[in-house]
Amino acid sequence: MASDRPFLISSPQTRRVVEDLPTIPIYTDLAKSGSENPKLASAMDSNNPLGNSANTEPTLNTYFQRSNSSIKSRASRGNSVREVSFDNSGSKPPRHGSRGAESDGFSMSQKELSDEDARLIYINDPGKSNERYEFAGNTIRTGKYSILTFLPRNLFEQFHRLAYIYFLVIAILNQLPQLAVFGRTASILPLAFVLLVTAIKDAYEDWRRHRSDRVENNRTALVLGDEGFHEKEWKNIRVGEIIKITANDTLPCDIVLLSTSDPTGVAYVQTINLDGESNLKTRYARQETILRMSQNERMSGLIKSEKPNRNIYGFQANMEIDGKRLSLGPSNIVLRGCEIKNTAWAIGVAVYCGRETKAMLNSSGAPSKRSRLESHMNTETVYLSGFLISLCTIVSVLAAVWLRRHRHELDYLPFYRRKSYVDEDDPKDYKYYGWGLEIVFTFLMSVIVFQIMIPISLYISMELVRIGQAYFMIQDNKLYDEASHSRFQCRALNINEDLGQVKYVFSDKTGTLTENKMEFQCASIWGVDYSGGTTCIPGDGYSAKVDGHVWRPKMMVKVDPELERLSKIGKQTEEGKHIHDFFLALAACNTIVPMVVETSDPDVWLIDYQGESPDEQALVYAAAAYGFMLLERTSGHIVIDIHGERQRFDVLGLHEFDSDRKRMSVILGCPDNTVKVFVKGADTSMFSVIDKFSNMNIIRATEGHLHNFSSRGLRTLVVGMRDLNSSEFDQWKLAFENASTALIGRAALLRKIASRIENDLTVLGASGIEDKLQQGVPEAIESLRMAGIKVWLLTGDKQETAISIGYSSKLLTGNMTQIIINNKSKESCKKSLEDSIVTSKKLMTQSGVAQNPEGTSGTAGTPVALIIDGTSLVYILDGELEEQLFQLARGCSVVLCCRVAPLQKAGIVALIKKRTEDMTLAIGDGANDVSMIQMADVGIGISGQEGRQAVMASDFAMGQFRFLVPLLLVHGHWNYQRMGYMILYNFYRNAVLVFVLFWYILYTCYTATSAISDWSSVLYSVVYTSVPTIVVAILDKDLSSRTLLKHPPLYGSGQREECYNQKLFWITMVDTVWQSVVIFFVPLLAYWRSTIDGPGIGDLWTLGVVISVNIHLAMDVMRWTWITHAAIWGSIVATVICIFIIDAIPILPTYWAIFNMMGTGLFWLCLLGIIVGTVLPRFVVKVLYQYFFPSDIQIAREAEKFGYSRELGGGGGGGGGMQIEMNPILEPQQRLNR
């Protein structure tokens, strides 16, 4: 549904500068009283015509437009571009824009509200309103828990992790007397510790939510009572109550406006708390309610509204008052969290309160996504579970054999006494349950003993590491945007490592690659191109004198001297008349609100043009620079200073921009008693309504200039106009009034009426606006390309603009062959795709790429660029042709999709995501990028000029596109490398201890006992080995940021999954088995014939494992800091201290064991043997492998270490520089590791 906003808005914040200017009547009927002329309004889409007030002027509709755009190309076009175009004419193209709210199929005005779908709200009667329906109160609660529900709900949420359930089962089994291997308390501690830490974190976060809720609920607002308005806490406000909001106040609930301080019922609203947009929006009250409130009558009536929903841009309701039924729309409702600006007060009735408000229904966090590395980790977890089951099965089978073989000796064996001889006459079984149950119990006890094979500490370690990584990303000054004073935001902590594996980047253009700060560059007026070229000079700045003050535009605009001279001639010549009408259209055909800003010079004031669209602001500033300065906008007229002469124009109506028409128009009553329609819009929509039977030369010249502007990367708009006679205006007015009061099909009817008046136009000209590239975009794209990342551009702009941006951003190069697909039917799309695939293969074959195992184009010859428009994608993304598009696109170096709708952007991302295992990243800045951002594996929002919708839907947010390079190439690489190593190391360190326990069981008659004390088993993953892992995973760096940025191909290690794959997992497991053999058998053989007890040799095994795994970690550390030293060596010291404390407690079975062991030289010799036996083989293999099979990372590290970084990659200079041949980035099916 198109916006249902007012059509003429007052500007209470703008100084009145024309009180002395008389209102010039347009026609005799327009000058009559309001009773005879009840509704003078004109808009594209409104649910609410103006009321029957006699002295009430119509209200002006705000509008938002994102026009076809691009920016000026700075790329050199010296090389010829080969272009293969597939442009088949077919049937009439369907509409392929965003099928948003204004679509007929989705318009809420298309249907009547039924009783089942509506709720009844009695105005100023909250008791009756809530009597039947029991609407939600206005108390909000963002907290998840209460005191009573915290424990059960938090535990329920935590146990969604299956690993936690596994450890809970282990702890429960250990409580059974038959299966008790460890102490009952000790077996619960690891799980309890993890649950407690997470619960404390959740409780603190929820406490902060509750504290915020209390502050919010206890705020006060003015509510109408029996004796007038009185203060009432927000939490006590109910649906149906009348509320008064003053300037700069925040709304406590969703209200339907009844009256405002403006006589026309207009209120200015800032929605920054709702959608992040700081621009002012207009909302208005119905004239019928304004009259009632102004007469101080007790307001009563009935509102029949739709049920609460999340659509913040839509609202459907009807109001019954004084027996009259009125329609309400989005322009009549102000939502909770919005602020009233530049309006003294506003009065409204509460329709949605508390959790039913649209703001609360939309209060969801960042989307939940799962790391690719964590998904792969589950596979290895299954393997470890298989290991665990295998070990337990081996133990239970061997125990069964042993029991059967020694069944006659079990009664007398001192360590396995089957009979209890307390009663010698009738001995009974002593903890013996029969051969079958003993085997089952042995299996279950083995599970308990080997439980740490699945590392419970890994999960909490990963969370802590991600928090640390996020901290360093946020604090990185290379990701700090000085222009907006914003730092990098990490909104989803669970996918940090995915940043190191990205293969595809899908980018929006406007506001993402460009600044979205528009600057007027040139114009074509009546067939004459006033580009100016190098003759354009900064203007001195046009100014106007108002009330003794000099008013100047806040923003300076470059002007063309010749055009400036001609604009001063006025309408004396034919050429001057067209120039006059052109700039009048730029100044008037908009919804800009001029605001006056004082300066240090009291005689000079600046005009700040405020509006929702940067395009409109640029055009109004341009008109002011050429002497057409908009000074005032009120509810019924505008005042423009035209070269020193202030003229008042009655704004009789405005048709808002929508995605179907792609244009807007304003109907002006001019000082010369004429009525004119000024229209501006996209060229594709404007030339269809131009009168082509006249001025064909002008039209052709304008089309040529538009093509030239687009090729330069400029955003273009076409401007036209025509005169309206009295009968045409009357017909339009009557038709509009009937359409705007319709309850069914209102949006479609209003569109139809707008299209009727926007016809047979005379083309005035076209404008060219530059949206400059952001700083560092070309260099960033080049770095991403060198890193093996494919960048696809998805934009709603026209093809020429997209191509121009492609060149200026270095996305397209002169040696690329362009394949262009523009089709208007499914059959032609199919043929174009087939021909394109053949052409692409032929080009790759000719250039030798067909033999390239990587399957990518351009590495050995001519690269290919695919350019496709949204109309073609309508048919291709329908399902049948998707596979062909995928086959074509994956072989192209670059893909540009132009004229695409938001859902088509998401469809393109899904095309790659569903057919490959490659990591996808989407980056954008506007609401139209949200679907794409949420579809991609990694979504990044740019906090730019188009609000914060993209940021709120993203996983990460930053200020500039160029920050993508350090984010991916540096932090992404580090995060992936660290996290991959940490996961493998956690598997390794726990498996070493498990295998040591396994070997011990084999030498103790398979009784599932353990020589390692219960407390050491518990502290192993918590104290002995956890801290070094976390510290290294946060601080370690395999390469410096300078090296990673200088040599982007190093990023390919993450794409090739070099740091974490199944090959590395199995190598780690083999090394684990070897180290466990050394750790177990060296002390066993050394003390074979000694009288040492189990606890003593158990302490030796504990120290051997801890020292070995920490030295193993130390061997792999690449960047040492004092914190790393303290963590690794401190953990060994902490282990020794803990063992001392445990063995010093008399009641424990390990009492004084370590002290007896340390007194002999054999103990220290065993420790030395363990260290040498575990570390030396790994060290030798590592040295040999890195020497004979060095990776890119290893070579870069050596070059960095020995000062060869200046020669790394074969830079210029003298001969003999070190050359690095980077490994190819293979397609998924060709990867050996996974």
Q: Indicate the SS3 state at residue 305.
A: strand
- Give yes or no for a contact between 502 and 495, defined as CB atoms under 8 angstroms apart: no
Cα separation, 387 vs 1002, in Å, equals 16
Q: Where are the alpha helices (DSSP H) in 609-717?
A: 614-625, 683-686, 696-711
What's the half-sphere exposure (Cβ side, CA atoms, 13 Å) at 199? 16
- Give yes or no for a contact between 1008 and 445, defined as CB atoms under 8 angstroms apart: yes
Q: Are strands 790-794 and 502-507 parallel, antiparallel or unpaired?
A: parallel
Look up residue 1081 and give its two tokens.
């058998």
Q: Any bridge partners for residue 675, and if so which? A: 669, 724
Cα separation, 594 vs 555, in Å, equals 13
Q: Any bridge partners for residue 668, and if so which? A: 651, 676
- The maximal CA–CA distance of the chain, rounded, in angstroms, is 134
Cα separation, 740 vs 354, in Å, equals 32
Q: Which residues contact 281 (CB under 8 A, 6 or more apart)?
A: 5, 62, 268, 269, 270, 271, 612
- Give yes or no for a contact between 839 and 84, defined as CB atoms under 8 angstroms apart: yes
Q: Are strands 118-122 and 324-328 parallel, antiparallel or unpaired?
A: unpaired
What's the half-sphere exposure (Cβ side, CA atoms, 13 Å) at 752? 10
Q: Are strands 333-334 and 242-246 parallel, antiparallel or unpaired?
A: unpaired
Query: 150-158 and 184-217 are packed helices; what angle lies between their axes, rounded to 10 degrees?
Result: 120
Query: 574-588 and 614-625 are packed helices; what angle lies between their axes, rounded to 10 degrees?
Result: 140
Cα separation, 1001 vs 988, in Å, equals 20
Q: Indicate the SS3 state at residue 654.
A: strand
- Give yes or no for a contact between 548 and 526, defined as CB atoms under 8 angstroms apart: no
CA distances from 16 to 22, 584, 647, 1077 (A): 13, 20, 13, 91
Annotated catalytic, 508?
A: yes
Cα separation, 591 vs 280, in Å, equals 11
Cα separation, 201 vs 551, in Å, equals 56
Buried b (16+ CB within 10 A) or exposed e, 157-186: ebeeeebbebbeebbebbeeeebebbbeeb
What's the half-sphere exposure (Cβ side, CA atoms, 13 Å) at 1116? 20
CA distances from 432 to 178, 435, 445, 589, 1005 (A): 9, 8, 14, 94, 15
Q: Pick from 589, 604, 598: which is nearest to 656 by CA?
A: 589
- Give yes or no for a contact between 961 and 512, defined as CB atoms under 8 angstroms apart: yes
Catalytic residue, from 4, 45, 498, 508: name it: 508
Phi-psi region of 516 (alpha: psi -120 to 50; beta: other; left: phi over 0): left
Cα separation, 58 vs 728, in Å, equals 19
- Give yes or no for a contact between 229 and 222, defined as CB atoms under 8 angstroms apart: yes
3-state secondary structure 755-804: HHHCCCEEEEEEEEEEEEECCCHHHHHHHHHHCCCEEEEECCCCHHHHHH
Cα separation, 930 vs 951, in Å, equals 9
Q: Which residues are catalytic?
A: 508
